Structure 1
């Protein structure tokens, strides 16, 4: 790959995909899908031009992977939510690489609106949801559109598994 930044981004996307598939026991010890047709397998999305559908699909989430030195989380969150809509998924989140750390400690960012929608779908109160999945709040000035919540990819993996197991209407056999 000629562009080194694109190569770093692709590596990060693949690391996220591989981590989530292993965590959710969707792959064997060699990383091969147990059921290649399972719609719940976490996959890197094919690029679709102007109507980008995000980097990684982990139904019901579209993950926008970021491996950059300088954060721009509110902008990335708006991008992730638009791309989730393009892909037909209800939630868009951002996963940012933490330099020199394992993939499990990557930072998952969600908007306040998305966080609330996920919490309500799980039927949890604010304190329970925040504590169970290790969320921390980032408030950026008085503009609430710039506020977001953050957890680790490890805690997000637990959330993803719990969401898939507990939320009615999750189609466990759909091919995405």
Structure 2
């Protein structure tokens, strides 16, 4: 790959995909899918056509992976939400690499609206949802469109697992929901 920034982005996407697949028990000890046809497998999305569908699909989430020095989280979140709609998924989130940290310590950012829809889908009170998945709030002045919530990739992996176990997800067998 000639572009070093693209190579770093691709490496981050692959690391997140591999981490989630291992956490969710979808791969063997060598990282091979237990069932390559399983709709629950976390995959890097192939870009097709003019509408971007995000970097990683972990049904029901579209993940937009970012490996940059300078954050632009509210902009990234809007991008992830558009890409989730393009892909036909209900939730778009951003997964940002943290320099010098493991994949598990990467940061997952979501809009207030997405956070609320996830919480309501799981039927959890605000305090319980916030504490269980380690969410912290970032408020940007009075402009609510720039407010977002953040957790770690590790805590997000627990959320994906819990969501799949409790909610009907198209293409995801009940055994892994």
Deviations 1:5-25 (A, max 9, x none): 000000000000000000000
Please give the alpha-carbon distance, in whole angstroms, between the structure 2 residues aligned to 1:156 and 1:23: 11
Deviations 1:63-111 (A, max 9, x none): 0000000000000000000000000000000000000000000000000
Unaligned runs of 5+ in 2: none
For 2:34, what is the secondary structure of its paired residue? Answer: coil
Kindly state the Cα deviation for residue 170 of structure 1 after the two structures are TM-superposed. 1.8
Query: Match for residue 54 of structure 2?
Result: 54
Deviations 1:17-75 (A, max 9, x none): 00000000000000000010000100000112420000000000000000000000000
Query: Match for residue 73 of structure 2?
Result: 73
For 2:110, what is the secondary structure of its paired residue? Answer: strand
Please give the alpha-carbon distance, in whole angstroms, between the structure 1 residues aligned to 2:48 and 2:76: 18
Query: Match for residue 94 of structure 1?
Result: 94
Query: Match for residue 162 of structure 2?
Result: 162
Query: Match for residue 4 of structure 2?
Result: 4
Aligned 1:104-115 pairs, distance under 5 A: 104-115=104-115
Query: Match for residue 130 of structure 1?
Result: 130
Please give the alpha-carbon distance, in whole angstroms, between the structure 1 residues aligned to 2:59 and 2:21: 12
For 1:2, what is the secondary structure of its paired residue? Answer: coil
Please give the alpha-carbon distance, in whole angstroms, between the structure 2 residues aligned to 1:23 and 1:51: 30
For 1:34, what is the secondary structure of its paired residue? Answer: coil
Kindly state the Cα deviation for residue 114 of structure 1 after the two structures are TM-superposed. 0.1
TM (norm. structure 2) is 0.96
- Structure 2 residue 23 is the aligned partner of structure 1 residue 16: no
The Cα RMSD (Å) is: 1.0
Runs of 4+ in structure 1 over 4 Å off: none
Please give the alpha-carbon distance, in whole angstroms, between the structure 2 residues aligned to 1:35 and 1:135: 32
Please give the alpha-carbon distance, in whole angstroms, between the structure 2 residues aligned to 1:75 and 1:49: 22
